[in-house]
Structure 1
Amino acid sequence: MIRLLIVDDHPVVRAGLVGLLSDEPGFEVVAEAADGAQAVRLAAATRPDVVLMDLRMPGVDGVEATARITADGAARVLILTTYESDDQILSAIEAGASGYLLKAAPQDEIVAGIRSVAAGQSALSPQVAVRLVERMRHPEPPVLTARETEVLGLVATGHSNKQIASTLGIGESTVKTHLLKVFEKLGVADRTRAVTLAMERGLLPGGRE
């Protein structure tokens, strides 16, 4: 028996899912939640196998609730929502969701998705899968803040951390923090590679347009 927690802030949608899934062989709806905070509490209390999670809810949203539930190991989470923007998809998956389906999906696709997630596999709607593949093929370039760009620009002209701190009127520790963030965003480990890659990507003046 696959134990389910249904999370949606719309009572009619929630009731519809409960009715749909309660009639499905091998499924048992053990709890319902109207927001993310309640979902986290009920997941800890009832230990369902799968949480069907909406994304946009008042207070604690679906992404944050997913992160808390999966971090606690309370259950596996399957996103079931009407939203499919790239950022929302990635945020949900990064938070630990095992799948992402749309509410408009056919009933058999939702049921199959639940069974897959309960079995330790993933479940993605065809539309979402296509978006993820395209995102991987054409990743968005990293975005540096104005201050990170200033710091890296001064590194590019040969300034030391001490000189950068003096020029910008900030502490050396702050300069180091900015550089570490730049390294993380660019996926590099040293100043030279950071400058070279930033110029290649047109993130610094004089780089490729």
Structure 2
Amino acid sequence: MAVPVVVVDDHRMVGVPLVAALTPALAAHGFRVLPLAVTVAAVGRTTAPGVAVCDVILDGGVSGAAAVEALAGRGWRVLLMSGAAPEEQVLDAVAAGARGYLVKSDDPGSLVAAILAVAATGRHLSPSLAALLYADLGRRPEPRLSATDQRVLRSFVQGEDAERAAASCGLTEPEVLAGVERIFRAAVERRRRHQLTPRELEVVRAVACEHLSTAEAARRLFMSIDTANTHLRSIRRKYRLVHPDAPATLPQRTAAQLWARELNLC
């Protein structure tokens, strides 16, 4: 049975040519490319281990981490792509279950290779994603990676694939792939320790996107002002954990506004 692949992109000028290019390139490997989906809602359930190539930012319906969760819930392995998605949004989507990430400026052939890797091993660690994970590890070292896994991660930052990483790190290719799996798991755990809760996201949207006062946000969200302030303190604390250069005097509302910008919430 042919492995299904679906492209989810709300920009038809990008998505339609991409589907046209992928169709013959992947057919030679036993894959079947479905028509372009401009929203996650347009993607059906798959019983085969299909690959969904999904833009990080979608204007219609769910986007980012929510899009990854929705597609994964329908049986798809999600490979993210983007032109200019905020770093925090990409990492949150990885924490939600994305199997890889490419930037749209990458070589077109790298997308085919990434789809094949996600279908075969369940993961693809591109130089772009490896660089994001390496930077995130520097900001949030827990849980730690072993020295060997850090070497593996650096080799992918430098553009090596699993075969070349094995040679440069003195490992076998299966050992490198096991290291990649640990790198992803650690990244997911780091994000879950520091990302905003659903309730905190609601407060951020109310304060930063709707420009409500704390009292107005509390009324809108059916919580006390004390509870709203507790959420705002947590929002600021998590922002400073993620951004250690942020001043200790960073106002709570400013932290909410910065989170809203980084996560593309407004």
Higher helix share: 2
Q: What residue in structure 2 maps to residue 133 of structure 1?
A: 134
Alignment gaps of 5+ in structure 1: 146-169, 187-200, 204-209
Residue by residue over 1:59-108, the C-alpha shift from the partner in whole angstroms, topping out at 9 and shown as x without a partner, is 323322211121x2511000121124321221210121101011111122
Q: What residue in structure 2 maps to residue 31 of structure 1?
A: 35
Q: What residue in structure 1 maps to residue 111 of structure 2?
A: 110
Q: What residue in structure 2 maps to residue 193 of structure 1?
A: none
Residue by residue over 1:105-133, the C-alpha shift from the partner in whole angstroms, topping out at 9 and shown as x without a partner, is 11221111101111133223312311220
Q: Distance in 1 between matches of 2:128 and 2:225?
A: 48
Higher strand share: 1
Aligned with 1:66 (options 68, 72, 93): 68
Report if aligned partners of 2:5, 2:53 keep a CA contact under 8 Å in 1. yes
1:1-209 equivalences under 5 Å are 1-24=2-25, 25-26=28-29, 27-39=31-43, 42=44, 44=45, 49-63=50-64, 64-70=66-72, 72-139=73-140, 178=230
Report if aligned partners of 2:99, 2:123 keep a CA contact under 8 Å in 1. yes
Cα RMSD after superposing both structures: 3.5
Q: Tell me the SS of whatever aligns to 1:32.
A: coil
Report if aligned partners of 1:4, 1:48 keep a CA contact under 8 Å in 2. no
Q: What residue in structure 2 maps to residue 206 of structure 1?
A: none
> Which amino acid counterpart does residue 34 of structure 2 have in structure 1?
V
Are the structure 2 counterparts of residues 202 and 59 from structure 1 closer, same or farther at C-alpha, using a change threshold of 3 Å? same
Residue by residue over 1:35-80, the C-alpha shift from the partner in whole angstroms, topping out at 9 and shown as x without a partner, is 12223xx2x167561000012222323322211121x251100012
Deviates more, 1:84-93 or 1:98-107: 84-93
Q: Distance in 1 between matches of 2:49 and 2:36?
A: 11
Q: Tell me the SS of whatever aligns to 1:61.
A: coil
> Which amino acid counterpart does residue 4 of structure 2 have in structure 1?
R
Report if aligned partners of 2:10, 2:60 keep a CA contact under 8 Å in 1. no
> Which amino acid counterpart does residue 55 of structure 2 have in structure 1?
D
Q: Distance in 1 between matches of 2:108 and 2:114?
A: 10
Report if aligned partners of 1:86, 1:132 keep a CA contact under 8 Å in 2. no
User: How many residues are matched?
Assistant: 156
Q: Please give the TM-score of this superposition, normalised by the length of structure 2.
A: 0.49
Q: Tell me the SS of whatever aligns to 1:33.
A: coil
